[in-house]
Structure 1
Amino acid sequence: MQGLHLTADLHGCTCEPAWLCDADRLGQRCLQAVSSVGLQAVAQLFHTFPATTHGPGGVTATVLLAESHLCIHTWPEQGAVTLDVYVCNFGGDHSTKAQALMDTLCALFEPAQVSHARLQRGELMG
């Protein structure tokens, strides 16, 4: 179960508003990004939340990977996004692909500020 879990919190996103509000468009871009880095999508769910008094509805985009998962949540009223990429390294090291996927998606949102976290999963304590 050893793998790499990457997260990023994006603030001040200056991308096209559709990337924050249009689940279908964002979802298709996620699938393209997954394929372009050499990971394999096995299922997906893309959902746009209804608008509120605070502004347009955000998006949750989830792609199940043969290697694990990608998940994105957007808050258009705040210009914020959270990204989560986890790859299991069973059968091969997918860490470089995970980082490439994270980098590609971070660039899409054009954030002013990014906070990254990197966690090696499944390492035994001893």
Structure 2
Amino acid sequence: MILPSYSPGLHILLTLETESLSKLTDSHSFIAKTDSVLEKFGLEKVGDITHDFENDSFTVAFCLKESHICVHTWPEYKQLTLDVYLCNYLQDNTEKVKAIAQEYIGYFEAKVIKEFEIYR
């Protein structure tokens, strides 16, 4: 059996800046947004973990059947980092990863400071 070439997937890493401090301190709203994103794009959550820090920043990691979405916020700097990776096991998810990143840029009303696209 000859298998077609395989690309494991696209991994987007973003550093964003926003004036919307409430979005950088409200992990519950981020989780609700992510649940909406997962439903919209047909992704399956297998687990998640949240840590709210003393300064109201937060870290949330969603483990997906397809891979993961993670965020870390720094309200004191008006910044966050976002990590979106979907593997291509059953289909090419490249455009889906890009669209999900745009969903979060819109959600945070953010300006992109750094963006890395890693094709694995």
RMSD, matched Cα: 1.5
SS in 1 for 2:91: coil
Structure 1 gap segments, 5+ residues each: 52-56, 122-126
Structure 2 gap segments, 5+ residues each: 1-6
Q: 1:68 aligned to 2:67?
A: yes
> What is the CA distance between 1:116 and its match in structure 2?
1.1
Would the aligned equivalents of 1:9 and 1:116 in 2 still touch at CA under 8 Å? yes
Would the aligned equivalents of 1:20 and 1:75 in 2 still touch at CA under 8 Å? yes
SS in 2 for 1:112: strand
- Pick closer, same or farther for the CA change 1:113–1:96 going to 2, 3 Å: closer
Q: Would you identify which runs of 4 or more consecutive aligned residues in structure 1 move more than 4 Å?
A: none
Residue identity over aligned pairs, in percent, reads 31
> What is the CA distance between 1:64 and its match in structure 2?
0.9
Would the aligned equivalents of 1:24 and 1:46 in 2 still touch at CA under 8 Å? no
TM-score normalised per structure 1: 0.82
Q: 1:7 aligned to 2:13?
A: yes
Would the aligned equivalents of 2:87 and 2:93 in 1 still touch at CA under 8 Å? yes
* Equivalent of 1:47 in 45, 51, 58: 51
Count of matched residue positions in the alignment of Structure 1 and Structure 2: 114
